[in-house]
Structure 1
């Protein structure tokens, strides 16, 4: 206890830096998910299906090449979902929060390999990966 009192500034600094790391993880959709490089590998080598759960207008403004548009509200029973539930399914939104909910919903529906693309479209663009815009 005496150590904490004598070194209160170090304890405060450690608490603040830990809080900052926690805040950053929460802003990135809980810190869970696969990085964009792993998402591309899964798409190329394991035939992963990329699902974009943003609204139609967001999707039209720019989406990852090869992504299928399935807004979060219409996820249950959507035709755009793969029939083969054993395939990896990568879920993407703007930043990761909607995708986390969608991935949980897909896993509950039997898509055991449903994963979030960490950072969503923001990370996809930052990585310089191809983006399409709908006409």
Structure 2
């Protein structure tokens, strides 16, 4: 139900404004307003450019993808671990180092914020949500991967959310 409310909020904002990129590396104003309406601000965010810098260092944050299996299969951040959003409440995150930084993401950041809340409840101290999600990551020309390697394919979640994805090739699988 919450995801449906989020989709309605997105649609309402989309209907009122055009959602275009302003300049490279900057979130469009309409997208930023949509994110502001969706986020509870319970998990600190990390900008795509900042995450890109952190991923270039020898010690990288642990990446958790909170999308569906189909979305993850189409593309994801290199090295990301899939966490099925639908079974989030049961997940204990065995094998994840609670002392290491964790960055969570989904399409736009709504589902990943719920994942971040779950991690915090389980005692993870350094959890951040990728601001704007995978869409903003790709919109800012950062790479995504699938089982075959580097790809331009991105699963846009639904036709309602797809206008926010400006770069990449939209693939529904």
Normalised by the length of structure 1, the TM-score is 0.71
Aligned equivalents of 1:123, 1:22: Cα separation in 2: 13
Structure 1 residue runs without a partner (length 5+): 1-19
Aligned equivalents of 2:33, 2:138: Cα separation in 1: 24
Higher Cα Rg, which structure: 1
Structure 1 residues 58 and 74, CA, compared in 2 at 3 Å: closer, same or farther? same
Aligned equivalents of 1:63, 1:103: Cα separation in 2: 18
Local SS of the residue matching 1:132:
strand
Structure 1 residues 44 and 86, CA, compared in 2 at 3 Å: closer, same or farther? farther
The aligned residue for residue 7 of structure 1 is none
The 4+ residue runs of structure 1 with deviation greater than 6 A are none
Aligned pair count reads: 113
Structure 1 residues 109 and 61, CA, compared in 2 at 3 Å: closer, same or farther? same
> 1:98-125 CA deviation, whole Å, 9 max, x = no partner?
0111101101111111110000010110
> Residue 23 of structure 1: CA displacement?
4.9
Give me the CA root mean square deviation. Answer: 2.3
1:66 aligns with 2:76: no
Question: Aligned match of 1:26 in 37, 55, 60?
Answer: 37
Aligned equivalents of 1:23, 1:131: Cα separation in 2: 23
Structure 2 residue runs without a partner (length 5+): 1-29, 149-173
Greater length-normalized contact order (CA 8 Å, ≥ 6 residues apart)? 1
Local SS of the residue matching 2:63:
strand
> 1:2-31 CA deviation, whole Å, 9 max, x = no partner?
xxxxxxxxxxxxxxxxxx87555224x357
The aligned residue for residue 118 of structure 1 is 131
Aligned partners of 1:91 and 1:114 also within 8 Å? yes
> Residue 133 of structure 1: CA displacement?
2.3
Normalised by the length of structure 2, the TM-score is 0.57
